Amino acid sequence: MEENMGYRIGQKITGTVTGIQPYGVFVSLDATVQGLIHISECGHGFVKALDEQFTVGQVLEVLVLDIDEYTHKISLSLRALDRGQDLVPQRTKKHYWTNRRIHIGFAPIAQRLPQWTKEAIEDLNKGENA
């Protein structure tokens, strides 16, 4: 689930700081919804003290990083906005040139080994008779 009361992952929102803790900053997005900017998302590099960087009542533009599917808690970021990104980076999917739907394993090799052995012996015998 990516939405919570109209909010979407990747959306830029203006909110007001309502609380500062050692682990992050709480931001009120509207009258009923609040999100958290974890200390690791407050800026690039080491952030020493959040209460020196933020004040209660301060208005911030934040980016919605995640919305928990079960608890509906909203994770916010300032750091992602500093990079000039409008959206959360998209995950790139690696493509492997295999067919994962076919589960062959080693059984077919064991099943074919007697036939291959028989054919190899026949080829050897043909070479001796020639």
Identity (one letter) of the amino acid at 38?
H
Domains parsed from the chain with CATH numbers? 3-82 (2.40.50.140)
Whose tokens are 């974890």? That residue is 38
- What span, in angstroms and rounded, lies between the C-alpha atoms of 115 and 122? 11
pLDDT computed for residue 113 by the predictor: 86
List Cα–Cα distances, 46 to 43, 49, 79, 84, 98, in angstroms: 8, 9, 12, 20, 43
Cα–Cα dist 97/89, whole Å? 25
Please report which helix (H) or strand (E) contains residue 34, including its range. Answer: strand 34-38
pLDDT tens-place values along the chain, 130 residues long = 444 468 899 999 999 999 999 999 999 999 889 999 999 898 888 888 888 889 999 999 999 999 988 888 999 998 888 764 444 556 677 666 666 666 666 667 778 888 889 999 998 988 776 6
Predicted confidence at residue 95, as pLDDT, reads: 64
